[in-house]
Amino acid sequence: MARAATTADAFNAVAEPRRRQILDLLVGGERPVNDLVAQLGLAQPQVSKHLRVLREVGAVDVREDGRRRLYRLNGKALKPIHDWVHEYERLWSERFDELDAVLKGLEQKEEDDGSDE
């Protein structure tokens, strides 16, 4: 066995920085491949390959327009990532840090009061 395919998951697909860049560019709206090639400074075949991966995980959709292909973002594919990482937000949010402090204070108080646990 080796590492999971890049097309296995949105997680795997998006682990590659270039692919994140591509998605970031597509936030601005539909773009033909050549636009992306120009903006990324990458060779055209590499861009097409990255787009294929993004297509396979559903993060982008394509539309034909004459001899060019217009790629468009489909952000829903990223929702699982958002949902997962969202659970960890409290670990760096100051607001929650304060809440944690309060809760710890309460625990301490209960321990001082003695009894079980």
Q: How far apart are alpha carbons 58 and 44 in whole angstroms? A: 21
Q: How many angstroms from the chain centroid is the CA of residue 110? A: 41
Is residue 6 a contact point for a copy of itself (CB under 8 A)? Answer: yes
Q: Determine the 3-state secondary structure of 70 from DSSP.
A: strand
Helices (H) and strands (E) in the chain, counts: 6, 3
Q: Which span sits near a copy of itself by CB under 8 A: 4-12, 32-40, 62-70, 108-116?
A: 4-12
Q: Which span sits near a copy of itself by CB under 8 A: 34-42, 50-58, 84-92, 98-106?
A: 84-92
In this chain, which of 67, 86, 95, 109 binds a copy of itself, going by CB under 8 A? Answer: 86
Q: How far apart are alpha carbons 109 and 21 in whole angstroms? A: 50
Residue-wise burial string across 66-83, b where 16 or more C-beta atoms lie within 10 A, e elsewhere: eeeebbebbeebbeeeee
The site map against a copy of itself for 33-52 (x = CB under 8 A) is --------------------
Is residue 63 a contact point for a copy of itself (CB under 8 A)? Answer: no
In this chain, which of 87, 112, 113, 117 binds a copy of itself, going by CB under 8 A? Answer: 87
Tell me which of DNA, a copy of itself, none is bound by residue 11, counting a contact when its beta carbon lies within the kind-specific cut-off of 5 to 8 angstroms. Answer: a copy of itself
